[in-house]
Amino acid sequence: MGQVVPETMLSMLFWAGCLVPNSGYLSEAGASLVDLKLGLNVVPKTQIVRMASSTFHYGKIRREAAKAKKTLADKFPAIGRRFHRIGLPLKVGSFQIFVNGYKDAIEWLQKFEMEPLGEDVAIEFQLEFEKLVILDYIIRNTDRGNDNWLLRYDKEGVASDDIDIALSPFSLGTISQKNKRRIKIAAIDNGLAFPFKHPNEWRAYPFQWSKLAHAKIPFSDVTRNQFLPLLSNVCVIESLCSDLYRLFSLDKNFQKSLFDRQMSVLRGQVMNLVSVLRDGRSPFQLVQMPPVIVLKAVEIPKSKPKCTIVPKSAVSPSPAPSQAKILVDMKTSISSNIFSDVSDQYKAEFQQEAPIFTSWCFKMTTMWGKMYDLRAPYNVRGGEITCLRVVRGFSRESWQKDTITDCPPRACSTCPRCPKPTLFRKCYDRGEFPMLMDQNSAGKLIAWKVPPENLDYHHYLPLFFEGLREIEHPYAFFSRQGIHDLLVHGCDKVLPVVPHLIAPIREALNTRCPQILRVTLHAIQQLVVSAPKVGEALVPYYRQMLPVLNIFRNKNLNLGDEIEYGQYKRENIGDLIQETLELLERYGGEDAFINIKYMIPTYESVVLN
């Protein structure tokens, strides 16, 4: 009893009180319907079905009754034909198509941090991500974490989708065949959506994708041109609400009043989304918009002007003290004879109530007891709504009225940076290196036209280190293999060239690209052990080499209790940095540890300890 009571109380406290109970299957099918209407193509096709299965949950009485009917029908067929149903009763639920080749998004997102996507694939992923944002925001999904939407990524080439293209009946163009992309998103687990009010009790139920770096990028022109005409057309939204009404009314406990409240939340979400798409803002700024509820205002005369701000007393005799009500005339923005007679007026309410477990540091209460949201693009004063301008922080404009400071820019200390063109590529294209590629049973090697020990190390070794920033074939292969061969055969010729190697090593580390970092760390390890006194010669240059290593020192994969089977490849950046620092200390002499400790305070000595 002592364990049951706390679990029951916690479930009651943190239950999503903004959702209609026992309507998860309707929410799953409703998300698929919204996806189909708008042509998002991110939700696997889902429909309401009636079926029976022995794996479903049935009471013991029903199972015994079904078993007895089946036995009686087998022995006495004449009696069995009189039964209304033989077997378990049918159950109503949602049926979703299974998608193949997809994995949890959190797995791919962790891999993308270690191995950034190419430019073309990154654009495809951003377009798919924006569609997921549009879907979740419209249906107000209260359960969208990074572990309940799927990703499919085909590195080899183009992969066809398992999800059929969901063409919008209102879209201007159509696609006759399946779309083919290298990366695809599947939005599953939509059962906790379509709330009848915005979360304002205990939890805020934020969108977890808003914390990703992709959410800071403004909506692309492709997305804006595709969805802005649809979402700004009130006839399209009302047609969507009508289709959702036919779907939700299939439930035996359907209530028209709750459905109207659900659609008022949906219209408010669409209103905010249209505003963000028109202004060219980002998904991160979208989730900061104030929650809006748009209701049909039949009692309001149609002669009112558009976007007229009215006092509270004109809307209702006893308005809520924490809400400001405005009148919005949502007419169609697409000039068409079909929609020319639409003149429905709507009443919008900006909800100022916030959940208890939310970030209160963004809230400010005045001496009159009113609450303002400093993150919102609107400010509510009395019965008026004032639009806030976004300005730069620590500027003169930030002291002006009706302004809000923009979020500080990200440091992006671990973001990859585009490598500069290398001199190694230019020299290789000119044919200045005396080498060829030799492919034999041992693999790819370099066939030197001149023995490596006879080369001018002051000229060639810095050029090969310059090629550490190359990631394309064959430049990457020749630079890495060339460094290995020259260091193996260099002996005493390596030490005088060490000062000339610092600049290319520093530029390679400053790219902060995981692939280049791994290769550079391997090259530093080979350089330290290649000849005597090389490790000591590198000590004065620690201040140029170690700052980047301090940033990526804790860049390890959190596998939990799993096993990393690719350890033999030595591609974990955190482990490579630790090995490199230990080699620098062992071969750097007495002053090595002091200089390493100065640049990386968390490093502990492996020699003194």
3-state SS record for 187-201: ECCCCCCCCCCCCCC
Token couple for 450: 């001149």
Claim to verify: residue 222 and residue 186 sit in the same structural domain = yes
Claim to verify: residue 180 and residue 45 sit in the same structural domain = no
CA nearest to 31, candidates 260, 188, 218, 173: 188
Instruction: Identify whether 110 is part of a domain.
Output: yes
State how far the Cα of 393 lies from the Cα of 409, in Å rounded to an integer.
10
pLDDT score of 375? 44
Instruction: Identify whether 175 is part of a domain.
Output: yes
The answer, as to whether pTM is greater than 0.85, is no
CA distances from 347 to 27, 231, 384 (A): 25, 18, 14
Domain extent, residue 392, equals 359-410
For the packed helices 234-248 and 256-279, what is the interaxial angle rounded to 10 degrees?
150
Which residues 6+ apart lie within 8 Å of 247 measured at CB? 26, 29, 30, 33, 48
pLDDT score of 4? 40
Instruction: Identify whether 605 is part of a domain.
Output: no
State how far the Cα of 102 lies from the Cα of 343, in Å rounded to an integer.
45
What are the start-end ranges of the E strands in 22-115? 46-51, 91-96, 103-104
Claim to verify: residue 391 and residue 448 sit in the same structural domain = no
Instruction: Identify whether 499 is part of a domain.
Output: yes
State how far the Cα of 525 lies from the Cα of 579, in Å rounded to an integer.
8
Rama region for 322: left / alpha / beta (φ>0; ψ in -120 to 50; rest):
alpha
The count of structural domains within the chain is: 4
Instruction: Identify whether 11 is part of a domain.
Output: no
CATH code for position 452: 1.25.40.90
User: Please, what sign has the CA dihedral across residues 194, 198, 202, 205?
Assistant: positive
Verify cis geometry, omega within 30 degrees of 0, for the bond prior to 321.
no
pLDDT score of 355? 57
State how far the Cα of 393 lies from the Cα of 384, in Å rounded to an integer.
26
Please, are residues 29 and 47 in contact by the beta-carbon 8 Å criterion? yes
Q: Tokens 């991160």, residue?
A: 284
Claim to verify: residue 197 and residue 83 sit in the same structural domain = no
Q: pLDDT tens, 50-80? A: 888 888 888 888 888 888 888 888 888 887 7
Claim to verify: residue 462 and residue 381 sit in the same structural domain = no
What are the start-end ranges of the E strands in 106-219? 149-153, 159-160, 180-181, 183-187
In the listed set 45, 63, 96, which residue is the last one of a domain according to the structure?
96
State how far the Cα of 171 lies from the Cα of 427, in Å rounded to an integer.
53
Instruction: Identify whether 15 is part of a domain.
Output: no
pLDDT score of 572? 86
pLDDT score of 269? 92
Claim to verify: residue 302 and residue 172 sit in the same structural domain = yes
Claim to verify: residue 513 and residue 589 sit in the same structural domain = yes
Claim to verify: residue 444 and residue 306 sit in the same structural domain = no
Ranges of the chain with pLDDT below 50: 1-15, 158-162, 164-179, 299-344, 356-376, 380-385
Please, are residues 276 and 218 in contact by the beta-carbon 8 Å criterion? no
State how far the Cα of 118 lies from the Cα of 116, in Å rounded to an integer.
7
Q: Tokens 């709330």, residue?
A: 195
CA distances from 288 to 216, 364, 391 (A): 12, 16, 16
Claim to verify: residue 69 and residue 146 sit in the same structural domain = no
CA nearest to 475, candidates 430, 542, 514, 408: 430
- How far apart are the two ends of the chain, measured CA to CA in Å? 53
**At 289, which amino acid appears?**
M
In the listed set 410, 443, 478, which residue is the last one of a domain according to the structure?
410
β-pair type (389-391, 403-405): parallel
Instruction: Identify whether 16 is part of a domain.
Output: no
Claim to verify: residue 446 and residue 547 sit in the same structural domain = yes
pLDDT score of 427? 93
Claim to verify: residue 380 and residue 523 sit in the same structural domain = no
Q: Which residues pair with 293 in a beta bridge?
A: 349
In the listed set 52, 67, 96, which residue is the last one of a domain according to the structure?
96
pLDDT score of 309? 33
Claim to verify: residue 432 and residue 579 sit in the same structural domain = yes
